[in-house]
Amino acid sequence: MVRFTNQFLAIAFTLLIMAGAQQVFAQNEESDGSVNTVVTTNSKDGVFSSTASYTFDVKSTYKNPQAGRLKYVVTTEAGKLMKSDSVRVKLGSKGSASYDFEIAGLKAGFYKINFMINTTDYDDTTRKAFGIKPEEIRSQYGKPADFETFWNNAKAELGKVKPEYKVTEMPDSSKDNRRVFLVEMKSIGGLTIRGWLTEPITKNKNKKFVVMLALPGYQVDLKPLYGLDPDIALLSLNIRGQGNSRDVINVRKETYITLGIEDKNKYVLRGAIMDCVRAVDFIFTRPELRHDNIIAVGGSLGGFLAVATSSVDKRISFCSAANPILSDVRNLVDEVDWPFIDIRKYVNTRPGLTFDKVLNNMDYFDAKNFASGIKCRTLVGMGMVDNIAPPNTVQTLYNVIPSDKHLIIFRDLAHEIGKKYVVYEGRWMRDTFALF
């Protein structure tokens, strides 16, 4: 009897263990799954004429039901809360649902929107941005009354500097049927700047090339640029303090943007813009280059330089600026971290210098203040979730360009542009310069 009882207890214990294991397996099976969400902007480029519209789709693979809330929050680029709302979420076993949101009553501008979902076994945030009537955006800040005089004086000072052009062929760098030349020249302040000129090899001694003046991003070292287009010469310029133009100015990345900022006549960007003008001077000395067909192109700081150069030097005949920085600076202060973190640190080390004084000087280097002076065709690209060149600041620049222009918005990109921009740029440039 004892033996039987012991066997019974052993069997019962085994059954309990198995039952417990089955319960654990069942619980794991119930908790095994995922929630997938898709936020659809009901506008191809994220721009709306009045009411922004989104669709939030959610699908669960969990066996157990999911319950919670879905919330959206709308803020300005500067982080000011504009609107928020939430709805209840209830999903059955392996269920799905769709929620439509209409966001009305916002004035012209760009806005950030976050969708936050929190359910039984899942929480996540999706970040988007949208624009309302962006063509109506204007800055409340104007340009200094002596803006044009300031830049005319800078060009006059540059004109007094003998350029001392030096062109050296670099046979070892030649490829893609292109000759490569190292170009050196003196710019404002007597600083030597350098760049790379690549020209298609041709048997036609009378051939003249359209020129693409490529301008660098922030602390980017531009190298020789190649390409298969037999009609275009490429001049990539390294402005002072960048790339192979660091003889005199050779500083850390975070320091460059602050160099001379306490005096607008000594600020590094004044010299950098004049470096670009000097590069145009160089193009005009070359008989094989077309002086009437020059495109200034760049992204980020390069986009800023393209806008500034096209404004102060009317010899530029096409401007292409992707994600141009430093536009609408006084509004930009509340919207981005860089470059103002570095600038404020610098101000704190300079007795007597104030941030207001710096902003007064930066008015002369505000991209939107250059934009109103552009006379050539201009292409602008922006990323709608850009946290360096926010869309409202780029739009402000674009809206004041008085010449023939086109804007390409990348709804889901940050500080970058997509292939569509490059393709459009090439086609519009060839159309402008009659390269058929």
* Domain identity same for 343 and 208: yes
Residue 177 lies inside a defined structural domain of this protein? yes
CATH number at residue 246: 3.40.50.1820
Instruction: Choose one of 136, 171, 206: the last residue of a domain.
Output: 136
CATH number at 108 reads 2.60.40.10
Q: What is the DSSP letter of 99?
A: E
128 lies in which domain range? 35-136
Residue 5 included in any domain: no
How does pLDDT run across 228-280, given as a tens digit for each residue? 899 999 999 999 999 999 999 999 999 999 999 999 999 999 999 999 999 99
pLDDT digits (tens, 9 = 90+) for 127-148: 999 999 999 999 999 999 999 9
State whether 335 and 407 are in the same domain. yes
pLDDT in tens, 69-78: 999 999 999 9
Give the Cβ contact number of residue 152 at 10 Å.
Answer: 12
Whole-number percent of the chain with pLDDT over 90: 91
User: Any bridge partners for residue 40, and if so which?
Assistant: 55
Q: Is residue 269 part of a domain?
A: yes
**Whether the Cβ atoms of residue 216 and residue 242 lie closer than 8 Å to each other:** yes
Residues 189 and 301 in one domain: yes
Walk across the sheet containing 109-119 and list its strands: 47-48, 122-132, 109-119, 66-76, 81-91
Co-location of 241 and 369 in the same domain: yes
The answer to whether position 20 is within a domain reads: no
> Across all residues in the chain, what is the average pLDDT?
93
| CA–CA distance, 215 with 269 (Å, rounded to integer) | 13
Where would I find the beta strands (DSSP E) of 254-310?
289-299
Provide the number of structural domains found in the chain. 2
Residues near 196 by beta carbon (within 8 Å), at least 6 away in sequence: 180, 181, 182, 183, 222, 223, 224, 225, 234, 235, 236
**pLDDT tens digits, residue range 1-53?**
433 334 433 434 343 333 343 333 333 444 578 999 999 999 999 999 999 99
Whether residue 55 is found in the same domain as residue 201 = no
| pTM as predicted | 0.91
Q: In what order do the strands lie in the sheet with 52-60?
A: 35-41, 52-60, 96-103
Asked whether residue 126 falls in the same domain as residue 161, the answer is no
4 occurs within a structural domain: no
Quote the Cα angle for 219-222-228, to 5°: 150
- State whether 285 and 189 are in the same domain: yes
132 and 184 belong to one structural domain: no
Predicted confidence (pLDDT) per residue in 154-208, tens digit: 999 999 999 999 999 999 999 999 999 999 999 999 999 999 999 999 999 999 9
Residues 280 and 347 placed together within one structural domain of the fold = yes
Q: Residue 120: inside a domain, yes or no?
A: yes
Predicted pLDDT at 31: 57
In the listed set 90, 116, 136, which residue is the last one of a domain according to the structure? 136
How far apart CA 187 and CA 69 sit, in angstroms, is 61
- Within-domain flag for 22: no
Q: Are residues 213 and 247 in the same domain?
A: yes
The answer to whether residue 21 sits within a structural domain is: no
* Boundary of a domain, candidates 92, 108, 136: 136
Q: How far apart are the first and last CA of the chain?
A: 104
Q: Are residues 229 and 314 in the same domain?
A: yes
- Do 72 and 189 lie in a common domain? no
